[in-house]
Amino acid sequence: MKLLVGLGNPEPAMALNRHNIGFLALDAIARRHGAGPWRARFKGHFAEAQIGGEKTLLLKPQTYMNLSGESVQAAAAFYKVALADIVVFHDELDLAPGRVRAKLGGGAAGHNGLRSIDQHCGQDYWRIRLGIGHPGEKARVTGHVLGDFAKADRAWLDPLLDAIAEAAPHLAAGAHDKFTTRVAHLTAPPKPEKPKPEKPKPETNKDRDDGV
C-alpha cells in the first residue's frame, strides 16, 4: 500500500501558486482514479483510491508547508506505511517547467515541506520533483514560488497533470522509473514529420538527348 502526498498551502488564495503543484497533481490523480471523498484526517485532506488494482492512500497536508511532516507522519503511522512506500509530489526550482524526476531520499534543498517530512519521518521516501523553473535571480525566488501559474503555463501544466494521473498506476505498483518514463512520453512534443521525397518527373521527349 502506497501513501501519495501532495504538498501545498491550504489558503484558497494560494490554490494556483507554483508552490501548490503537489496539490494539483494529487487532485488530478484523485479525479482520474475515482478516489473516495476527501475527508479531514491526519491534519490534512485524506482520501483512498484503487489505482492499478492497488489500494492507495492520498493526502494533502493542511498544516501549511513548513509543518507538512506532522500530517504525513500521522497518516503513515496509522496505516503502518513504510517510509519507502511514501511518495511526495512537490515543486522543484532546479527543473525546467514541466519536467519530472523521481528520487529516493536526499536532502530538502531548501524546500520547507520536505524539510518537515525529513524531521518527522526520515529521508528515505520517494520524491516526485515537478519542475517549475527558476526565475534566474535568488532575490526573485520567493515571489516566483508563491506566485500563481501564468496563463501561458497552462500549455504545459494541464498536459503534465493529465500525464501524472494516467501514469499513477506505476507509482502504486512501485515502478517509479516507469512512471517518469510514461510521463515524459505523454508530454513529449510531437515529432516533426519527415519531408516526403519528391517523385521523379516522368521523362519526356524534351528530356532525351537522342538526336530526335
High-pLDDT (> 70) share of the chain, %: 93
- Catalytic residue (one of 19, 45, 90, 176): 19
* Local confidence band at 115 (pLDDT 50, 70, 90 cut-offs): very high
Domain ranges of the chain: 2-190
Global pTM reads 0.89
What are the pLDDT digits (tens) for 93-106?
999 999 999 999 99
Residues 73, 77: Cα–Cα separation, whole Å: 6
Count the Cβ atoms, other than its own, within 10 Å of residue 121. 19
What are the pLDDT digits (tens) for 180-189?
999 999 999 8
Residue 103, amino acid: K
Would you call 111 a catalytic residue per the annotation?
no
CATH code assigned to 2-190? 3.40.50.1470
Residues 6 or more apart in contact with residue 87 via CB below 8 angstroms: 2, 3, 4, 5, 125, 126, 127, 128, 171, 176
